[in-house]
Each structure stands twice: as C-alpha cells, then as structure tokens.
C-alpha cells in the first residue's frame, strides 16, 4: 500500500503542474493584450509585452538644453547646468558622449571633450557642461545613457480611445451602438420563447412532438442561409438596414436555443404545483405568469447570458442587417476589424479598443458564470 | 430619434406588445369567443383549451418560420436562379460555376481540415483540462480561467492572436510571442531537434495510429456476415475507412516532410502568410475558444460517473491511466460525441476569425467567408446562395442525428 500512496503523490504533483501550465497557456494571449493596452505606442513597438513587467535596460539618446538660451558665465567659462530627464530619473548604469562609445563613463564621471570642454553627468540626472564661448553654443550636447527604466504603464490609451473628443476611432459611439443592439435583442426573445416553451412543455395538443423536433432541427441551421432572403424581406417591408432589422434578426436566430433551453427546464418543474393550481381554478395564463416564470428564473438567466454574449460579440448579423454606408450605426466588432485593416501597426489603439469591447462580456462572464455553465449543460443536445 | 431612445422604446413596445398580445388574446379567447358560461360552458372550455397552445406558440412560430425555416427554401430557390436575368431559373448553372472556381475548392479543403482539427483538438484539450481539474482544490479557478475565452468575441480573439503572431524586422526586438520563441531556436541545437523534429513526428505518428485504430473499428465488422452489421452501414464504414486512409497518408507524408525540412532558423516569420500552415494558426484561435466549452460539459460528465466503477477498477489494480482510458472515457463517450458535434457546427459557421485575420488571403479561405465574399463583395447571389447550400448540406447529417436523438429521448 505504501507503494500506491507514493506513486499517487508524485502523480498528483504532475497533475498540479500540468494544470498550471495549461491555465498559463490559455491566459497568456489575453494577458498580452491587456498589458499592451496599458503601454505607450513606443513601448509596444520596441519590446515584447512580457519584458514590460521587469525593469528594462534601455539605451537613450538625450540632449542638454539649448546653450544659447541657458548658458551662464562663471569664472570666464560658460556653463550649462540642468536635468537631463523629464519626469522620473531612471537608474543610470553607464553613459557616453559619443555614439561609438556609449559606455565610456559611469555616473558622476566627467568626460573630457577636448580643449578644456567637459561634461559631467551625475546619477540623479543632473549635468554640468563647461567650456569656452564657442564650445558652449549651437545645439545642446548629446549624451548616450544606458539606464534601467522601471516598468511603466499608462491609461492614456483608454482616454484616447474612449474620451478623446476628436475620437478618430469612434469606439465610444460604437460602444453605445453595441449596447443599443444588445439589450432589446436579449430581452425580446426571452418573452416570446418563454410562452412557446410553456406550451411545448405543459400543454397537450396534436403536433407537439413534431414541433419540438423542429426546434431541435432549427438549432443547427446555419444563419448564413438567412442573410440574403431576410435582407430582401427587410427591404421589401421598408425597414432596410437598421436597428429594427438587427433586433428582429437576433430575436429570430436566438429563438431555437431559447425555446429548447426553457422547455427542457420547464418540463422538469414539479407536476403537482401546476395541477394544484389548475384545480384551484387558475388559467394557463395565470399559471405561466405567477408560477412558471418565477420558477424558471435560472433558465431565463442562462439564456439571457448566452444571448447577451452572442449579440455583443456578433459581427456577421450586424454587418448584414445593421451597418449601412453612412457608418453611423457601426458596432465595436466592426470597428475593430476596420482598425485591423487600416491601422494594423498601431497596437496601442487596437489593443485598447479590443479590450474595451471584451471588458463587458468578461464582467458578465465572471459574475454570472454559474448560470452560463448551467445553460451550457442544459443546452447541448443530449 | 436617438438610437438609445429608440432602443428603449423598442424594449417597451416589444415587451409590452408581447405581454399585451398574450394577455388580451387569452382574454378574448376565454371571454368572447368561447365564454365559459351559458349552455355550452363545458364544450367552450375544451375548445378554448385546444386553441390556447397555438396562441402561446404563435409569435415564436412566426419568428422561427420567417427567420430560419423560410430562408432555407428561399436560399435554395436563389441558388437555382440568376439575379441579373431577373431571377430566371438557371438550373444548376450557379453550382457549376462555383465548382469551376479554385477558390471554392480551396475553401472546401480548408473547411475539411478545420472540421478534423478543431473539434478533435478542442475535445482533447477539454477532456485533459476536465480530468486534471477534477478533485483539485483550485480546480474551479483553473476551469473558469480556461473557460474565459468563451466570453471573448471572435474578433477580439483575432486581435489577441494577431499580437501573438506579430512580426518585426530581424534587427528589431520581436513583439509577437511566437516569433520571440522561434528566434530562440538555433540550427542544429539539441532543443531545436527535440521540439521541431522529434516531437512533431511523434505527435503525427500517434495521430496516424489513432486514426488507423478508429478506422479498423469501423472496417472490422464488415468481415462478418452482412445481416449482423446491417448492409446499410457499409457505405458509411467505407467512407470512414477512406477518410482514415487519407489522413494516414497525409500524416506519413508530413512526417517525411518534417524529417527532411530545412527550417529558416533565425529569421522572423510572418506566420499568417505561410500557405497551408497558416490555416493551423487560425484554427488555434478557435481551439483556444472552444476548449472551455468542451471542458465544462466533459467535466460535468466526469462528475456523473458512478464512483463504484472507479473504485472497483482501482481495487483490481488499474493504474490511473487505465482508469481514465478504460473506465472513465468509455462511460462518457456519449457526451464526447455531443461535444464533438456541437463544435463541428461552430466550425462550419466560422466566419469572423478568418474575416478579421486574413480575409481568406494566403490560401486560408473557408466556406462561410467565401459565401460572404460572393454575396456582399461580388454581389453574386446565385453562387453565394449555392455555397450557403453547401454549408447547409454539411450540417444536415448532424441536424438529422440531433432530431433523431431528441425524439428517442422524448419517448
């Protein structure tokens, strides 16, 4: 028995480690985008996001202030003093005054620039540059500094994408458009489906089994087939491309899953409650509103989350039924695809926009995961 | 009107309209058409109860019929007509035109590849994650993190993975993880040999063996008498065998290819433009998303396995791997099939990932994106509808299977 216990513990270590690796692998890409959205475009373009977590050695080329404006005469020499860095001063490891020898001096050393001209750089970033009138003129002295820069993050990208008044990417508008599409498209099918599901679960009528089978069949019909016929139909009845069309389309496409989920749940409700209510003289309508609907809350919540995630993340239906040539009604997914095409190199904008669009579903996901899992388990055809 | 206001109004009208419809239609039925009083009270109640289900079902039936059932037939009709010739019937001309296009065959071939790789990989990873996280303290946290990509849109996932695949010129630092890792490998070093030659070959060999085993399971009963297996299943069995043979052939040629491959070490690669392999880089995105789904379903199935069967196996001296493959997996086979078919349907509809990442360039076209191209870029409704029908045709077996199972379960 010792043997078995021993092998079990080593196996359990292997299990822990492999699971941790798997989780890390699954998380890694998303974390990359999240971290990138908090970096400046220069940072994203020059180093991998994984490097941003640690202090980085960077080679900076800096210039002193303009000597013609700031030099002062002292003991017959001209002197420029000041601070080489704007903002935080990084840890300077080595520096130089020549691009071929950028590691010639340590902080505090004084560089001899010839003919009595000297340049001193201290660890705190202050410098003293001394020389005669000719030497201390023209442009500022260049210094090549190798420094450890601490990890640095900014929320500027989010400000630019969401609140910048000029807002070239239009993400703020797209955010509200997405919300406008999503909320009615989530609520309306629930109600329609709930009544149908009740009829399919608890009312007896000829053709019921056939209808249930039809709903199961419609669950897998690809919505690609519906694009052209429905676009034609929308144009014929005069709503064309717009919110009404996209709401109706999402309602139609969401119904099979809604009916299927809700019916499966309602069938499992105790028969006694419903029969007692009937004996007490309640009508079907009353039973549905007062008993079934409150009891079905978990199933309703499951479907609402599905439909919300699906309509929020949808691209195809919005492209076909909503977005017209004016682009006023664009949604976030469409904006991001557009950004991928036109500004594929501007990772700070892309990453931030993508995260703005991902944030809401992620929040819903983590808050209501219980219902999502329950819905998935009930919704996969057994 | 401001869209938000319009949205609010729609909710009010939509919800109010639905509730109003259900309430008043029931009232009218009970009070006006078949009132439950007077001489015919009993008969009226019965009649009202016969009509009522249809009142409850009507809005849903209209929506389902108009938005899902009618389009199937309308698309079929459109695929047989020519829009430019005023919708004249042209027979199979659109299909013929489609079959002549190399882009269509490329899309079909890629779709087949997607259909094999994505469900297989997602289910395998899902099963692995479900088994590993079973009975571990932090298993639920691990599960919810692996499940998380489910909430991310395909477009968002496309951006996330584009960053992973990003390429910079050789003299700059790489900002894409894949290239950064790629540049760690040197020609001839032991790690390169292990990771880029030996492991892929092993993986492909295992894959080929598994395919061969599955194929053999299907073929073996054919050598027995025909009545036992049912003659009708023979074409299906032969189809599986042929598909298996093709997969094994592909694996063997790939193994030879890998063994003799001359890899461009030290050069950053633009991953999404390498023909054939770029398909796999796109598939990774969908596998990443769908694994969570597979894991959740399979994990629930694993929990449902009767404890006694596992205990009995352990008492009989089975090691953990035997318990997993011989006791657990056979018992959840039904669920594995469900997960597999569900993911298959997702794969058949996959559009956003290809649309956002490559738009079908560099030989990555798939059917759904091909169809979108035809419908809305080339404005060719005939061929577009024909390709939509191809997708429908591919979904049909699963549709029939699901309906069959649902009916069986209801009896």
B63/B112 same-domain check: no
B227/B107 same-domain check: no
Structure confidence at residue A14 (pLDDT): 83
User: Is pLDDT of A328 > 80?
Assistant: no
| ipTM over the 0.85 cut-off | no
B168/B298 same-domain check: yes
A81-120 pLDDT, tens digit each: 888 777 667 777 788 877 777 777 888 888 887 777 888 8
Contacts of B172 in chain A (CB under 8 A): 46
B277/B261 same-domain check: no
Scanning A312-371 for CB atoms below 8 A from B yields 312-316, 319-320, 329, 333, 336-337, 340, 344, 347, 350-351, 354, 357-358, 361-362, 364-366, 369
Contacts of B68 (CB under 8 A, 6+ apart): A218, A221, A223, A226, A252, A253, A255, A256
Taking CB atoms and an 8 Å limit, are B145 and A36 in contact across chains?
no
Residue of A nearest to B390 (CA): A225
B279/B370 same-domain check: yes
Structure confidence at residue A380 (pLDDT): 65
User: Is pLDDT of A1 > 60?
Assistant: no
Structure confidence at residue B232 (pLDDT): 66
What are residue B290's phi and psi, to 5 degrees? -80, -20
Taking CB atoms and an 8 Å limit, are A192 and B381 in contact across chains?
no
* Residue B86 to residues A204, A228, B83, Cα–Cα distance (Å): 47, 16, 5
Q: Report the alpha-carbon distance of residue B19 to residue B59 in Å, rounded.
A: 11
What are residue A93's phi and psi, to 5 degrees? -95, -50
Q: Report the alpha-carbon distance of residue B289 to residue A310 in Å, rounded.
A: 14
B53/B169 same-domain check: no
Distance from CA of B289 to the nearest CA of A (A): 9
Across A207-222, average pLDDT:
85
Q: Is B38 left (phi over 0), alpha (psi -120 to 50) or beta?
A: left
Q: Report the alpha-carbon distance of residue B368 to residue A198 in Å, rounded.
A: 35
Structural domain including B66 reads 3-70
User: Is pLDDT of A196 > 70?
Assistant: yes
Contacts of B146 in chain A (CB under 8 A): 22-23, 26
Decide if A245 contacts A181 (C-beta within 8 A): no
Taking CB atoms and an 8 Å limit, are A28 and B392 in contact across chains?
no
B282/B406 same-domain check: yes
User: Is pLDDT of A42 > 70?
Assistant: yes
Instruction: Tell me if B94 is assigned to some domain.
Output: no
- Treating both helix axes as pointing N-terminal to C-terminal, what angle do A369-379 and A297-313 enclose, rounded to 10 degrees? 90
Chain-centre distance for alpha carbon B227: 35
Q: Report the alpha-carbon distance of residue B193 to residue B198 in Å, rounded.
A: 6
pLDDT < 70: residue spans in chain B: 1-4, 7, 36-38, 85, 87, 188, 224-232, 411
A277-289 pLDDT, tens digit each: 888 888 778 888 8
B159/B294 same-domain check: yes
Instruction: Tell me if B86 is assigned to some domain.
Output: no
Contacts of B406 in chain A (CB under 8 A): 212-213, 216, 381
pLDDT > 70: what percent of chain A?
93
Most B CBs within 10 Å: which of A12, A23, A175, as the mutation test of the B interface? Answer: A23
B397/B371 same-domain check: yes
B355/B404 same-domain check: yes
Under DSSP, is residue B138 helix (H, G, I), strand (E, B) or coil? coil
* CA-closest candidate to residue B389, choices A20, A87, A229: A229
What's the residue count for chain A? 382
Structure confidence at residue B4 (pLDDT): 67
* Residue A38 to residues A50, A159, A349, B166, Cα–Cα distance (Å): 13, 11, 10, 18
Contacts of B351 in chain A (CB under 8 A): 224, 315-316
DSSP string covering A79-138, please? EEEEES-SSSPPEEEEEESBTTBTTSB-TT-EEEEETTEEEEE-TTSEEEEEE-TTTS-S
Structure confidence at residue B287 (pLDDT): 92
Check residues B77 and A159 and name the one with the higher pLDDT: B77
Distance from CA of A229 to the nearest CA of B (A): 6
Decide if B55 contacts B70 (C-beta within 8 A): no
* Residue B34 to residues A204, A219, A282, A369, B38, Cα–Cα distance (Å): 19, 36, 17, 46, 10
pLDDT band at A5 (very low <50, low <70, confident <90, very high): very low
CATH homologous superfamily for the domain A160-379? MetI-like (1.10.3720.10)
B50 part of contact set with chain A, CB < 8 Å: yes
Q: Report the alpha-carbon distance of residue B341 to residue B347 in Å, rounded.
A: 10
Total number of domains in chain B: 3
The token pair that represents A45 in the structure block: 């373009």
B29 half-sphere exposure, CB direction, 13 A CA radius: 21
B195/B335 same-domain check: no
Structure confidence at residue A170 (pLDDT): 72
Q: What is the CATH number of the domain that holds B117?
A: 1.10.3720.10
Structure confidence at residue A137 (pLDDT): 75
Structure confidence at residue A75 (pLDDT): 75
Fill in the DSSP letter of residue B222: G
Domain stops at, among B70, B90, B124: B70
Q: What is the mean pLDDT of chain A?
A: 81
User: Is pLDDT of A43 > 80?
Assistant: no
Considering all CA atoms of chain B, what is the largest pairwise distance in Å, rounded to the nearest integer? Answer: 98
B332/B409 same-domain check: yes
Instruction: Tell me if B42 is assigned to some domain.
Output: yes
Taking CB atoms and an 8 Å limit, are B61 and A196 in contact across chains?
yes
pLDDT band at A169 (very low <50, low <70, confident <90, very high): low
Domain stops at, among B22, B55, B70: B70
A224-239 pLDDT, tens digit each: 888 888 888 888 887 8
Domain stops at, among B265, B285, B314: B265
Q: Where are the domains of chain A?
A: 2-52, 55-149, 160-379
Under DSSP, is residue A110 helix (H, G, I), strand (E, B) or coil? strand
pLDDT band at A382 (very low <50, low <70, confident <90, very high): very low
């Amino acid at each position: 028995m010792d043997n078995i216990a021993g092998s079990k513990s080593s196996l359990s270590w292997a299990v822990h480690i492999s699971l941790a690796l798997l989780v890390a692998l699954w998380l890694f890409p998303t974390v990359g985008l999240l971290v990138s959205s908090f970096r400046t475009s220069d940072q994203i373009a020059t180093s991998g996001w994984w490097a941003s977590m640690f202090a980085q050695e960077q080679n900076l080329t800096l210039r002193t202030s303009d000597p013609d404006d700031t030099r002062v005469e002292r003991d017959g020499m001209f002197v420029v003093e000041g601070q080489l860095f704007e903002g935080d001063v990084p840890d300077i490891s080595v520096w130089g005054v020549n691009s071929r020898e950028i590691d010639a001096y340590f902080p505090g050393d004084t560089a001899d620039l010839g003919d009595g001209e000297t340049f001193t750089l201290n660890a705190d970033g202050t410098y003293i540059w001394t020389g005669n009138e000719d030497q201390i003129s023209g442009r500022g002295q260049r210094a090549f500094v190798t420094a450890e820069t601490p990890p640095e993050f900014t929320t500027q990208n989010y400000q630019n994408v969401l609140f910048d008044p000029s807002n070239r990417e239009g993400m703020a508008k797209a955010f509200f458009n997405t919300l406008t599409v999503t909320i009615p498209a989530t609520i309306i099918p629930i109600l329609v489906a709930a009544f149908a599901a009740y009829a399919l679960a608890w009312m007896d009528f000829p053709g019921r089994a056939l209808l249930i089978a039809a709903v199961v069949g419609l669950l897998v019909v690809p919505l690609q087939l519906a694009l052209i016929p429905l676009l034609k139909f929308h144009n014929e009845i005069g709503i064309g491309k717009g919110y009404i069309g996209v709401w109706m389309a999402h309602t139609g496409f969401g119904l099979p899953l809604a009916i299927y989920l809700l019916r499966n749940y309602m069938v499992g409700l105790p028969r006694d409650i419903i029969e007692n209510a009937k004996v007490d003289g309640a009508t079907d309508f009353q039973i549905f509103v007062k008993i079934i609907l409150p009891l079905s809350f978990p199933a309703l919540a499951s479907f609402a989350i599905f439909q919300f995630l699906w309509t929020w993340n949808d691209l195809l239906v919005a492209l076909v039924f909503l977005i017209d040539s004016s682009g006023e009604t664009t949604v976030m997914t469409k904006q991001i695809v557009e950004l991928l095409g036109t500004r594929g190199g501007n990772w700070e904008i892309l990453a931030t926009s993508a995260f703005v669009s991902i944030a809401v579903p992620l929040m819903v996901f983590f808050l209501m995961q219980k219902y999502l899992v329950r819905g998935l388990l009930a919704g996969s055809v057994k | 009107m401001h869209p938000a206001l319009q949205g609010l109004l729609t909710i009010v009208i939509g919800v109010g309209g639905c509730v109003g419809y259900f309430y008043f239609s029931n009232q009218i039925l009970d009070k006006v058409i078949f009132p439950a009083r007077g001489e015919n009270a009993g008969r009226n109640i019965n009649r009202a109860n016969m009509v009522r289900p249809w009142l409850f079902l009507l809005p849903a039936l209209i929506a389902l019929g108009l938005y899902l059932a009618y389009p199937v037939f309308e698309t079929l009709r459109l695929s047989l007509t020519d829009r430019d010739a005023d919708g004249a019937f042209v027979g199979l001309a659109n299909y013929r035109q489609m079959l002549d296009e190399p882009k269509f065959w490329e899309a079909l071939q890629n779709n087949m590849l997607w259909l094999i790789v994505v469900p297989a990989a997602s289910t395998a990873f899902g099963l692995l994650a479900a088994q590993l996280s079973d009975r571990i303290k932090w298993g639920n946290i691990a599960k919810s993190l692996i499940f998380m990509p489910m909430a991310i849109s395909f477009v968002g996932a496309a951006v996330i993975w584009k960053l992973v695949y990003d390429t910079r010129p050789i003299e700059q630092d790489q900002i894409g993880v894949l290239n950064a890792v790629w540049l760690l490998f040197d020609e001839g070093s032991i790690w390169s040999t292990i990771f880029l030659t030996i492991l892929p070959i092993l993986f492909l060999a295992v894959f080929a063996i598994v395919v061969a085993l599955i194929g053999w399971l299907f073929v073996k009963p054919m050598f027995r008498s025909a009545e036992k297996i049912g003659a009708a299943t023979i074409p299906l069995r032969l189809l599986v065998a042929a598909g298996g043979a093709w997969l094994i052939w592909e694996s063997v040629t790939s193994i030879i290819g890998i063994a003799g491959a001359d890899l461009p070490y030290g050069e950053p690669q633009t991953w999404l433009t390498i023909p054939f392999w770029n398909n796999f880089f796109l598939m990774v995105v969908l596998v990443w998303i769908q694994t969570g789904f597979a894991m959740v379903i399979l994990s629930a199935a694993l929990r449902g396995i009767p404890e006694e069967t596992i205990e009995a196996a352990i008492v009989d001296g089975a090691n953990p791997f035997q318990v997993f493959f011989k006791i657990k997996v056979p018992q959840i086979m039904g669920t594995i099939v469900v997960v597999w078919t569900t993911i298959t349907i997702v794969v058949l509809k996959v559009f956003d990932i290809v649309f956002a990442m490559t738009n079908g360039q560099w030989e990555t076209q798939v059917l759904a994106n091909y169809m979108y191209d035809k419908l809305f870029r080339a404005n060719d409704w005939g061929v577009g509808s024909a390709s939509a029908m191809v997708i429908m045709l591919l979904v049909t077996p699963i549709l029939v299977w699901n309906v069959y199972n649902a009916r069986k379960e209801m009896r």
